[in-house]
Structure 1
């Protein structure tokens, strides 16, 4: 077994690359092992680097979700409250403020029926990221500056371009759908945000 610094979170065995990542101490209670390791099924440095980075991004995102279950984070609490009130999701007239957490509630009530738990978690987690950065504001109050701050926060988490694209897509879907259902006219600031994909 040899560690290859050119491919992060990996080692080679008989020329084959393996992914390896230690489970953070605070998350060990969720696992039956202290280390995650498996074959990347390639001898190519470039392919191994891509697969290792994707695996690391997926783990980082999932570990963030696990931590958000264990520790109350800004925004997450509001989203759970909104989800609990989903049965009475507001059918607000356009003159009333509709917050992002309420938009998630409307979205999940109408589009989440019969969908897997991962669908609900993706909406709550993605919009929770926005709330953590910009606050739980009226949909019409979000600006391009908020969207850019949101992008920068995701980049700081070292998420891959594909993960950022997916998260932005979920936020746009939630805001566009809720605005349409509640009769609100918005120019969605989360569209057309530049980042390296």
Structure 2
């Protein structure tokens, strides 16, 4: 049952090809075995090679996302959160009652699962991106764990990005909508720290000069 070099990530057993891949050592805590192995359900080397390479690519993508969860990297806010399965149970505590809190990531999932139905992709991206900025600046905390200090640090991080006052207002509005909605849905009492944060609303917004009255008229041919 040696790995088939001409057909990567496979070995042959009783005439059938099997996929095999060792779990990276830094990710083994996520698995119950050090190796992933399953039948590719084919005797054809061509078919087995295609299926094995596709499975390997899917694993590489999955392992990337497992690693990214544990690493604070630039641009982490741009990753799609994709945690709808967590949202299904985020508002239920282990004893069946209301949860004491949910994380911001879970709050986004709740918000999009319930309010995102039929909404355009821009609606989903705005919620994920705006709350992703919070996670980048302050971490993925429970909703009741965020403080005014966190909200001010979030504001400073947005200002450091060179965003205009109107953009910051829009982002703060989205964060408040997500957190307030998730808190209401899960029965959490929340004194939202992202309310009443000071910044210059007009920063970076240029006033448009009015067109001159009675100015020269360009001739046309």
Q: Does TM, normalized by the shorter one, top 0.5?
A: yes
Cα distance change of structure 1 residues 86 and 110 upon mapping to structure 2, 3 Å threshold: farther
1-structure distance, mates of 2:107, 2:74: 20
What pairs with 1:64-143 in structure 2 (closer than 5 Å)?
73-75=75-77, 77=79, 80-83=81-84, 85=85, 88-92=88-92, 93-143=97-147
Q: Give 5+ residue unaligned stretches, structure 1.
A: 1-70
Q: Is the 8 A contact 2:101 2:188 kept in 1?
A: no
Q: When the two structures are superposed, what TM-score results if normalisation uses the length of structure 2?
A: 0.53
Q: Is the 8 A contact 1:126 1:170 kept in 2?
A: yes
- Structure number having the greater helix percentage: 1
Q: When the two structures are superposed, what TM-score results if normalisation uses the length of structure 1?
A: 0.59
> 2:161 corresponds to which residue?
157
Q: Is the 8 A contact 1:82 1:101 kept in 2?
A: yes
Q: Give 5+ residue unaligned stretches, structure 2.
A: 1-72, 202-221
2-structure distance, mates of 1:141, 1:94: 17
- What SS class does the counterpart of residue 76 from structure 2 fall into? coil
Deviation at 1:82, TM superposition (A): 1.7
Q: How many residues are matched?
A: 125
Task: Confirm whether residue 178 of structure 1 aligns to residue 182 of structure 2.
Answer: yes
Q: Name which one, 1 or 2, has greater alpha-carbon Rg.
A: 2
Q: Is the 8 A contact 2:137 2:153 kept in 1?
A: yes
